[in-house]
Structure 1
Amino acid sequence: MLKYCLFSFLLLTALNARSQAVWKLPEVAQTKFSGSVYPITKFGAVPDGYTLNTKSIQAAIDACTAKGGGVVAVPPGLWLTGPLTLKSNVNLNLAAGATLLFTKDKTQYPLVKANWEGFEQMRNQSPISAKNAVNIAITGNGIIDGNGDAWRMVKKDKLTESQWKNLVASGGVLAEGGKTWMPSESYAKGNAMKDPGRLSPDKDAAFYQSVKDFFRPNLVVLTSCDKVLLEGVTFQNSPAWCLHPLMSKNITVRNVFVKNPWYAQNGDGIDLESCSNVLIENSKFDVGDDGLCMKSGRDADGRKRAMPTKDVIIRGCTVYAAHGGFVVGSEMSGGVNNVYVSNCTFIGSDIGLRFKTTRGRGGIVENIFIKDIFMKDIPGDAVLFDMYYMAKDPIALAGEKRELPKVEKLAVDETTPQFRNIQISNIYVNGAQRAVFLRGLPEMAVKNISISNAVFQSKQGIEIQESAGIQFKNVQVYSGNTNPVVDIINSRDIRFDQFKYSNNAKTLLRLSGSGVGNIGFQNTDYKNVTNKVEATLGASAAAVSFK
């Protein structure tokens, strides 16, 4: 035990020292294009919102790449199109006033072998896709609209009564006692199955066709590409995830606006999956699911791929409506490491910093460095680490009942996920349900997390379960519920240095469970607290020291 405590102390000291040093950021190779311009009008495109321009726009892209590359120019107008394939050395540039509108006609989207949530599946072709392309870009000041409302199911509780009535009157199918709307019978059939899109010998083309509507495409999918630039454009109304770089590298995302309805099922902003050398900066996200999300494949498929998302820089971004502002997981089976997040603002996001996983994933998330984060009006947790992710929205809808997970200790193997070695500093939160929530597994604690220089204004304080080697330094928690301010369950080696809290606190610390040990407070004022420590359920007050 002494060796473990010493190791934790040294590791936390090293993490804190690194936080004070200048980050050595990864390098991201940039795109470069020739000056040749290929206006889509020269290939027959018509900007009337009625004419289907798929062939014309694709012809412009094909001609551009065949002649060595350049700019495919989309002038102002409403350009209706089917799915497009971006190719090497092509910069698809949308002028201000240009909207690339993808058709609602699902027959225009062929079924293709693709990837969904980390494993291979049959999907409808994405509105914009590229594979094995080098030096590609989507730039300008225009809009790319995925017409996602034609694809998505919608929950009644997420709409007003008038919106719901109009949606039901438009057609589609009702399910789950009339509380869920689906766009078609084909969608409903697929929704009732487990993994209908997963590729297997027993499924033929007729089967996939029968549930085609269920296979919602992501708006932009860039697979195994190198040197990618997304700049200036508004990406909106995606059928599923909006931006999805997959197994790609040297990606720059700058000054984009990603916009999905807040009720959009799986309406993520950007999902980096098994990508490396990435810069995301000065961009805004207002979406229906996670905002800035790091992934690396799901369960055995992700572990077999063994490609972590790594060497990522995120800075100067703003996230509004989202399930999480900056998110890791839950599909992180290939690992996530060396991610640097700074100067980001989360306003109204369900969770601020969200780390989520569950048993079966495996994978290691480590060396994540976060600083200068500003949050306002967070409905859930400002900072969350949860290894019991249950694939549900983080904030329960009115009347929705949820049960706590069953707590049991299992054997550690390749399916056991890990969160470790994560440093968070300079966090300022004006309004949250809870300041910090850490929940590991009995067999695998959330390990070596450092939070420093933080001010949390929240309804609840800090809760720590099944965690080890956690450090809070110069952290202030001003919570409405001060009984207790800090709740620790079966966790060890927790340090609070220069900890401040509400003056009317009743109980500073509650300990629960026989696994609690080596808890320490120092440089903290205790004179205004009614009760410093309360021990329950097998815990002992002797496990904590106050200096």
Structure 2
Amino acid sequence: MKNLIIILFIHLCFLSPLKALEYNASLFGCVSDGVTNNTSSIQYAINFIAEKGGGKLNFYVGRYLTGGIQLKSNVTIELHEGAVLLASPNFYDYLKNSSGYALINAEKAENVSIIGKGVIQGQVGPYLTQLNDLILKGYLPDNKEVYMPSLLSFTNCTQVKVDGIFFSNSPAVVQKYVGTNDLELSGQIINSKVAKDSKGIVLINSKSIKLKNLFIETSGRGIESDNSNQFSSVEKCILPNGKPAL
């Protein structure tokens, strides 16, 4: 009987899913003062969690200044209430990916999420001031639209979830999804009216898209989609005038 109990216990251990580990951003040296540039610290945290097989990176109350970061497979970012990811106003803090520049990038990643009640915020005014200065001095070609970063950009990813986040003041498209499958966007407020023609969500050649409870107020189109996309469901996605965003 004793041997049977031991065998059953071992069997249950193998059947039980391992709980994903959780990490506090401050453990990796991230500083929430709104001034310290956390780009390298956040990227190190994401890389570390991905190498360990996945888990969650938690941001608590404060303003975390960062440039462009690359989200990896099996990593979740949770912005708890009062936490703000603040986009750097410095052009050189961003890396170009296949879809342009963005604050949070992911390419060919699986099982990635950005969740919580926090904020992802751009800095349109300071960013444009610096960018115009670089163009005026001849450091960059005069092609401003190319250098305007999105807040999120996902390309050729699967199992993507963005839930509960408040997005504000993107210099360009707020969220861009290209070739992304099994995509769930829910419970978001998107407010981006400062930059000219700032679109809320752009969807290109993506499948199994679920949209629910999105409020979108932007200077450009709320949701831009073409016939290349396939939707599983669209519920309560509205503009300020109460009309459907899609």
- TM-score normalised to structure 2 length: 0.84
CA contact (8 A) 1:283 1:316 kept: yes
Alignment pair present for 1:274 and 2:215: no
CA contact (8 A) 1:33 1:71 kept: no
Look up the SS of the partner of 1:309 in the other structure: coil
Partner of 1:145: 121
Q: How does 1:341-356 map to 2 (within 5 A)?
A: 345-346=242-243
Of the three residues 82, 95, 110, the one matched with 1:134 is 110
**Structure 1 residues 78 and 88 mapped into 2: Cα distance closer, same or farther (>3 Å)?**
same
**Structure 1 residues 185 and 208 mapped into 2: Cα distance closer, same or farther (>3 Å)?**
closer
Looking at structure 2, the residues matched to 69 and 284 of structure 1 have their Cα atoms a distance apart, in angstroms, of 31
Partner of 1:258: 190
Alignment pair present for 1:84 and 2:69: yes
Partner of 1:309: 229
Partner of 1:233: 165
Cα distance, 1:312 vs. partner?
Answer: 4.2
Looking at structure 1, the residues matched to 108 and 27 of structure 2 have their Cα atoms a distance apart, in angstroms, of 27
Looking at structure 1, the residues matched to 98 and 238 of structure 2 have their Cα atoms a distance apart, in angstroms, of 30
Look up the SS of the partner of 1:290 in the other structure: coil
Cα distance, 1:151 vs. partner?
Answer: 4.3
Of the three residues 170, 175, 179, the one matched with 1:243 is 175
Looking at structure 2, the residues matched to 210 and 318 of structure 1 have their Cα atoms a distance apart, in angstroms, of 38
Deviation track 1:18-46 (CA, whole Å, cap 9, x = no partner) reads xxxxxxxxxxxxxx994311111000011
Cα distance, 1:150 vs. partner?
Answer: 3.4
Look up the SS of the partner of 2:85 in the other structure: strand
Look up the SS of the partner of 2:150 in the other structure: coil
CA contact (8 A) 1:243 1:269 kept: yes
Looking at structure 2, the residues matched to 95 and 226 of structure 1 have their Cα atoms a distance apart, in angstroms, of 24
Partner of 1:491: none
Cα distance, 1:103 vs. partner?
Answer: 1.0
User: Which residues of structure 1 form unaligned runs of 5+?
Assistant: 1-31, 116-122, 153-170, 173-182, 190-206, 297-307, 322-344, 347-351, 355-547
Cα distance, 1:105 vs. partner?
Answer: 1.4
**Identity, % of aligned pairs?**
27
Looking at structure 1, the residues matched to 52 and 221 of structure 2 have their Cα atoms a distance apart, in angstroms, of 39
Cα distance, 1:266 vs. partner?
Answer: 2.5
Cα distance, 1:209 vs. partner?
Answer: 3.4
Partner of 1:219: 151
Looking at structure 1, the residues matched to 232 and 224 of structure 2 have their Cα atoms a distance apart, in angstroms, of 11
| Larger Rg belongs to | 1
RMSD, aligned CA: 2.6
Look up the SS of the partner of 2:230 in the other structure: strand
CA contact (8 A) 2:75 2:111 kept: yes
Looking at structure 2, the residues matched to 107 and 264 of structure 1 have their Cα atoms a distance apart, in angstroms, of 20
CA contact (8 A) 2:90 2:127 kept: no
**Structure 1 residues 150 and 295 mapped into 2: Cα distance closer, same or farther (>3 Å)?**
farther
CA contact (8 A) 1:250 1:278 kept: yes
Partner of 1:524: none
Partner of 2:222: 291
Alignment pair present for 1:184 and 2:132: yes
Of the three residues 72, 95, 100, the one matched with 2:57 is 72
Alignment pair present for 1:46 and 2:54: no
Number of residue pairs matched by the alignment: 229
Cα distance, 1:256 vs. partner?
Answer: 0.9
Looking at structure 1, the residues matched to 71 and 124 of structure 2 have their Cα atoms a distance apart, in angstroms, of 20
CA contact (8 A) 1:39 1:74 kept: yes
- TM-score normalised to structure 1 length: 0.39
Looking at structure 2, the residues matched to 86 and 33 of structure 1 have their Cα atoms a distance apart, in angstroms, of 21
**Structure 1 residues 245 and 55 mapped into 2: Cα distance closer, same or farther (>3 Å)?**
same
Cα distance, 1:222 vs. partner?
Answer: 0.3
Looking at structure 2, the residues matched to 310 and 208 of structure 1 have their Cα atoms a distance apart, in angstroms, of 41
Deviation track 1:74-108 (CA, whole Å, cap 9, x = no partner) reads 11111111111111001100010001101111121
Divergent runs of 4+, >6 A = none
